[in-house]
Structure 1
């Protein structure tokens, strides 16, 4: 009898132990290349408001480490878009972005008095590194405001509108053309040093008045200026520069501006929106590519975990935000607010320590890396379905015909995931994982002998990217 009781107790103990193990299941993600959605322009960050100065002030070895984390496709995130700030302030006090024409030249029709220091708060240095060292092709120059003397409130901060647009008259005159010339000159300065600005924005959060550089605009006022800006760029031989609009504070706010932009659609290149007041949960009605150009956990205390307690700054949360923007809102790009800076909040992806002796990446960076390293500019989103319980999947076909398939496992299920692509035979396959213990690290991926599917282990609370290369 004692022997029987011992067996029963042993079995009970085994069952109890087994029940506490993470559940495992096998599942298949099916990719359908025949279903084609939006084209991807890339992923990126900014170093505006003198954040570039903070990187530039580091030791040479830390400078390189920080830049590698941002732009290196092997050891970092491999970002493909850099967003720069076009200054409007009269000086560089605090973290202001100084204007290339700090003083009123004498009116909108006066000869311009541009001032170029060749530095632009170290944005020239970061841009040159991004373009010439790391091969970044997309540089987005974005103005938060026109200089104060061009505005109704005579201040580059605290709102105000550009003099000369609808319902914004000024005793000093109509400044639309002068502002267009100003923006074109900024692009020329960068062109002269070998950095081609590909996208130009003249507004930032035009639905918000702030104590720093800001300028109000509705859709009609934006259209008024675009009618001047496009021919100005063309006349300056900047025909390839795409005009963006309007970087509204939230996705739905940008949607609300679109009706008034219909008349200038042919002059626009890209629609841009932020995600602070509303998230990208549906497509914006436009024929143009749409970028999510700014989002961040601005106030949350510095967090480095991929998953802990569903915190706003955790990597898993940002993996999901990007997934939703790409697959539900059909975004063609996703940018975080700041790449590298100091301070104790999650407003950036990478933190400079208070003593300036170390640079610390967060898991938000590595969540981005699982996208940006492998989904390159020109890739097309394609159909993806299936996957294990609690997961979300997406797939992209890059210009080199390789396929990148993302599996985000937000639940606790751990198991083998198989990726099968309809009508596709792979010559090689690899996989990379980001979770609490990995930073976009390569893991074992098993390709079937006939090249029709690839499998890898996908743990709970992780993101895995599969890359399948086509047969020769």
Structure 2
């Protein structure tokens, strides 16, 4: 096996998660000690997994208007402004704000404000989710300037509080119809999407703000593809899921929509974001881990060879998502998805869905049985948390993915590996996912730049049935630049070393 630091791929921007929607009740009702423990597990490199990005949900106000249609209080959100003529109330979303500050205090350097629905007073039906009557989108006609102005006000407020958002995502999963969805959401056909993004960009520029736009945050990779590439993958002429079935416009081909339009390409900063839902498995005739991501890379290159790709949201969905799984089965599935997003799709960012969950579902890094004030504030960590930490704690912003050859990553099983150098920190990181039932002994040769001569020892960190990102035995680098180590069965292992420049 060869790690070649002279062969470089994408620069890593961040690893993150979102605060929707659990962090608000937790931040409001939990003790300082318990909130601090959760924050440390998520954001601290010393006590947790050291996330480097945090997605803050800017709520639409469903907590006041939609209690009859969004019955789960942990899926509703407050809003900072509840009417066109009303004042802003910055005491809202207080629990989320606690964790936003906690993230910043622990060194998280990428803050992202994301929106599921415009504020309820800007929607056609007065709710934070559409219904079949609203047409292509629930945003009122001509309300793009008001929506953008609201977002600018939110960004300015937090900037003045010392919490600068590096990105804003005005639209989340525009593909889905969101009718009677049980949570905040909104659809936008491609024309709706363009109007919103261009208006937000115009107002950001006018305000002299450095915040960049993240888009399109499509629900799955297949929704991004050009029709001909989607047909190559699926055998169907075009993507027809979600709102595409409503007859209210086009809700697909987001790469072409955003990167083939000079104005939009500039507005989104030559970066395209998507979610990896339903893209985390292979089965005969449906190679989602490998082929789908190869088509994604080829599709982006059609329009902008310099465009950056972010994987901005993921958890295990569908029938496989039901039931909490604290063990390695779910963790290995997630680790495979991370590996292929980074090594096949060239993702520069990888962001989990909801950081803390109370549900009986595979959607949390951390779980709790807390539901309402007075309940026990228990904190249950999953192996998914620690497996993500094998990447997020060590592959830091600014690291560059480099060549790691001769792992079995084409088989989507067995041993998968990826490697990264951070020239500023002078570190080399390799992350291995052993999805097999047998230990794998490997011999690695280091090559390229000063890495070969400068690294003397690699520390090892293991997540397995027995270990939670636990430090193992150091591996000595031989004089010829080789090292040998063991990757235990059903584990995620990080090798981490520093060199002298």
TM-score range, shorter chain: 0.7 to 0.9
> Aligned residue for 1:470?
499
Residue 403 (structure 1) aligns with? 428
- TM-score, normalised relative to structure 1: 0.84
Alignment of 1:338-377 (within 5 A): 338-354=354-370, 355-377=375-397
**Residues 168 and 362 of structure 1: is their aligned pair in 2 closer, same or farther, counting only changes over 3 Å?**
closer
Q: Contact 1:51–1:341 (CA<8 Å) still a contact in 2?
A: no
Find the partner of 1:301 among 317, 320, 323: 323
Cα shift at 1:277: 4.2
Q: How many residues align?
A: 425
Map 1:80-119 → 2, pairs under 5 A: 80-89=52-61, 91-92=63-64, 94-95=73-74, 96-105=76-85, 113-119=86-92
Contact 1:77 1:373 in 2 (8 A): yes
Distance in 1 separating the partners of 2:466 and 2:2? 27
**Aligned pair 1:244/2:214, yes or no?**
yes
**Structure 2: which 5+ runs fail to align?**
68-72, 226-252, 281-288
The equivalent of 2:231 in structure 1 is none
Q: Is residue 437 of structure 1 aligned with residue 491 of structure 2? A: no
Displacement after TM superposition at 1:56 (Å):
4.4
Q: 1:174 to 1:36 in 2, by over 3 A?
A: same
Between Structure 1 and Structure 2, which shows a larger proportion of helix residues? 2
TM-score norm. by structure 2 comes to 0.79
Q: In structure 2, the residue corresponding to 1:155 is in which secondary structure?
A: coil
Aligned to 1:271: 272
- Stretches of structure 1 lacking an aligned partner (at least 5 in a row): 1-28, 106-112, 308-313
* Distance in 2 (alpha carbons) for counterparts of 1:243 and 1:89: 23
Pair 81,159 (structure 1): closer, same or farther in 2 beyond 3 Å: farther
Q: Is the 8 A contact 1:88 1:97 kept in 2?
A: yes
Aligned-pair RMSD on alpha carbons?
2.5
1:380 matches 2:400: yes
Q: What is aligned with 1:230? A: 201
Whichever of the two has the greater Rg, that structure is: 1
What is the Cα deviation at residue 278 of structure 1? 4.1
Deviation at 1:90, TM superposition (A): 5.2
Cα contact 2:457–2:475 (8 A) shared by 1: no
1:12 is matched with which residue? Answer: none
User: Structure 2 CA distance, aligned partners of 1:152 and 1:58?
Assistant: 36
Aligned residue for 2:23? 51
| Cα separation, 1, equivalents of 2:380 and 2:352 | 16
Residue number in structure 2 paired with 1:391: 415
Q: Distance in 2 between matches of 1:339 and 1:49?
A: 9
Q: 1:55 to 1:225 in 2, by over 3 A?
A: closer
Q: What's 1:30 paired with? A: 2
Question: Any conservation in 2 of the 1:151–1:161 contact (CA below 8 Å)?
Answer: no
User: Take 1:266 and 1:202, find their aligned partners in 2: how far apart are those partners?
Assistant: 16
SS at match of 2:118: coil
State whether residues 274 and 292 of structure 1, in contact with CA within 8 Å, keep that contact through their aligned partners in structure 2.
yes
In structure 2, what is the equivalent of residue 26 of structure 1?
none
1:451 offset after TM fit, Å?
A: 7.0
Shift of 1:468: 2.3
Contact 1:91 1:102 in 2 (8 A): no
Q: What SS is found at the alignment partner of 1:102?
A: coil
CA spacing shift, 1:175–1:63, aligned 2, 3 Å: same
